[in-house]
Amino acid sequence: MAPRGTVPDMTSTAIEVLDHPLIQHKLMRIRDVSTPPDVFRALVSQVAGLMVFQISRDLPVRDVDVETPLETTTCSRLAGPVTIVPILRAGIGMADGITSLMPEARTGHVGLYRNEETLEPVEYYCKLPEDIAAGPVFLVDPMLATGGSAIAAVRLLEARGCRDIRLVCLVAAPEGAAAMAQQCPNVAVFTAALDRQLNDLGYILPGLGDAGDRIFGTR
């Protein structure tokens, strides 16, 4: 990975920026330092739902026969269970928006925090459905900074047999996107914005601050 503060070569980085006007409008308000925690939480939830609506277009389906009031017809249903896995704690702010769209989805949780000295992820909690590998997994975290937490979470999911993993974040740094492309090339990465760089403390610029603190009003 390139040193923090520089923009690495992105030519081989697989990341999709969702530039839908509604997503970008709401992201503008999320970035605004004057946005209060209650509005911030609502916007994060809304953007997460809009993003997953777009990236769930290719979820596998199967045909089923359904009896309408008039006749039998063939319809489509999801071929397997969908699981949402927020990376604690900030990822919780995105999970609600996705479950409002897909209330039938299960929710697992992965607890990781960043060591502020080494910037490496430290696992402290992991609770996932036993059959999580039976369907696609939406791994959600507002920030893709160094990529360390996302990569660690992907490794936990892969160890349980997951193969269809989709990382969803609000903003990403080029350094984190490049790390994901190198370490987890089979994971699709979706973001609302690819920002400029990381600063010397590992925070995304221009970013949106500490997403967890802004969601929960802890700073």
Residue spans of the domains in the chain: they are: 16-60+79-216
Interatomic CA distance for residues 97 and 118, integer angstroms: 32
pLDDT at position 11, please?
37
Yes or no: domain 16-60+79-216 corresponds to CATH 2.40.50.140:
no
pLDDT at position 2, please?
38
For the record, the structure tokens of 62 come out as: 């199967």
Of the listed 11, 118, 200, 219, which one is catalytic?
118
Among this protein's residues, is 62 annotated catalytic?
no
Of the listed 29, 106, 114, 160, which one is catalytic?
114
pLDDT at position 217, please?
81
Among this protein's residues, is 210 annotated catalytic?
yes
15 Ramachandran zone, left/alpha/beta (phi>0; psi -120 to 50) = beta
Of the listed 106, 160, 166, 213, which one is catalytic?
213
Interatomic CA distance for residues 155 and 206, integer angstroms: 29
> Which tens digits make up the pLDDT trace of 67-83?
999 999 999 999 999 99
Supply φ then ψ for residue 174, to 5 degrees.
Answer: -55, -35
pLDDT at position 78, please?
93
Of the listed 31, 107, 196, 210, which one is catalytic?
210
User: What is the pTM (predicted TM-score) of this model?
Assistant: 0.87
Interatomic CA distance for residues 107 and 139, integer angstroms: 10
Of all helices (H) and strands (E), which one includes residue 204?
strand 204-205
Local structure of 6: helix, strand or coil: coil
For the record, the structure tokens of 99 come out as: 């479950």
Q: What is the DSSP letter of 2?
A: P
Per the omega criterion (within 30 degrees of 0), is the bond before 89 cis?
yes
Among this protein's residues, is 195 annotated catalytic?
no
> Which tens digits make up the pLDDT trace of 135-171?
999 999 999 998 989 999 999 999 999 999 999 999 9
pLDDT at position 213, please?
86
Residues of the chain with pLDDT under 70: 1-13, 119, 219
Q: How many CB atoms lie within 10 A of CB 206?
A: 11
Among this protein's residues, is 118 annotated catalytic?
yes
pLDDT at position 42, please?
95
Interatomic CA distance for residues 127 and 187, integer angstroms: 21
- Could you identify the residue written with the tokens 């992965």? 110
